[in-house]
């Protein structure tokens, strides 16, 4: 159900803004904090914000996560620019990393202000551990498909996983705890998937 006062185009604008923010953060991460593997970053700061945007803005945030990851991969990595089909598959890692927490939060009816231990546990389990584990596995495998890839799946996977866990554990729970109340007052906050 849409917010009565909020026109649909506001969600289109929101999605476009989130795509720009995700693209910029992802590009900065890959370009300035590279892991030595095409498309990977030692500290991928974008992932924390992609998760937050998806938890706050539902499927609009998930669309932005995929599009931002794809654009940053193509813009920041010559190998992915030459192989857009691999870039499109690789960007699914970003989508998985945000959809897993979104589905878990909605399914378990988590209060995003994290006022109790149960909600903290679900956020840590699905927004920091499981999602990053699956995203790292998907991303590492996909990057290994690039012709002439010198990286190994194991080193890319471990770099991706450890970096993302560090970033998400430092940003996601605290941002949810201290910013969700303000975001929920916005007409753009999405309670389910699309509202």
Q: What is the DSSP letter of 45?
A: T
Q: Domain holding 98: CATH number?
A: 1.10.1760
Distances (CA, A) of 132 to 5, 25, 67, 139: 36, 17, 18, 10
Each residue's pLDDT, cut to its tens digit, for the chain (195 residues) gives: 445 555 578 999 999 999 999 999 988 887 777 666 555 677 889 999 999 999 999 999 999 999 998 998 788 665 666 677 888 898 999 999 999 999 999 999 999 999 999 999 999 999 999 999 999 999 888 878 877 665 678 888 988 899 999 999 999 999 999 999 999 999 999 999 988
**What's the pLDDT score for residue 98?**
98
- Looking up tokens 């904090």, which residue turns up? 33
* CA dihedral over 76, 90, 131, 102, signed as positive or negative: positive
* Residue-number span of the structural domain to which 13 is assigned: 9-184
Does the residue 59 lie in any domain?
A: yes
Residue 2 lies in a domain: no
How many angstroms separate the CA atoms of 48 and 165, rounded? 9
pLDDT at 142: 87
Output the CA–CA distances (angstroms, integers) from residue 124 to 129, 132, 140, 151, 154, in the order listed. Answer: 6, 11, 22, 29, 24
Q: What is the pLDDT of residue 80?
A: 67
The answer to the question of residue 111 being in a domain is yes
Residue 193, domain member (yes or no): no
Residue 180 located in a structural domain: yes
In a domain, 32, yes or no: yes
Number of domains in the chain: 1
- How far from 93 is each of 4, 107, 138, 161, 167, CA to CA, in Å? 34, 21, 6, 12, 16
Residue 190 in domain? no
Asked if residue 194 is part of any domain, the answer here is no
């Amino acid at each position: 159900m849409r917010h009565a006062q909020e026109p649909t185009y506001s969600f289109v604008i929101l999605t476009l803004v989130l795509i720009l923010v995700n693209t910029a953060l992802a590009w900065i991460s890959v370009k300035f904090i590279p892991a030595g593997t095409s498309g990977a970053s030692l500290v991928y700061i974008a992932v924390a914000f992609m998760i937050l945007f998806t938890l706050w803005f539902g499927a609009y945030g998930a669309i932005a996560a995929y599009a931002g990851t794809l654009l940053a991969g193509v813009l920041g990595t010559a190998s992915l620019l030459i192989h857009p089909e691999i870039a499109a598959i690789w960007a699914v890692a970003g989508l998985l990393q945000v959809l897993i927490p979104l589905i878990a939060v909605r399914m378990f009816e988590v209060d995003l202000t994290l006022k109790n231990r149960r909600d903290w546990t679900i956020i840590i389990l699905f927004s920091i551990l499981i999602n990053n584990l699956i995203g790292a596995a998907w991303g590492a495998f996909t990057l290994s498909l690039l012709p002439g890839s010198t990286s190994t799946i194991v080193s890319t996977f471990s770099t991706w996983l450890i970096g993302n866990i560090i970033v998400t554990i430092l940003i996601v729970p605290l941002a949810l705890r201290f910013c969700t109340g303000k975001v929920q007052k916005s007409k753009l906050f999405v309670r389910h998937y699309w509202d």
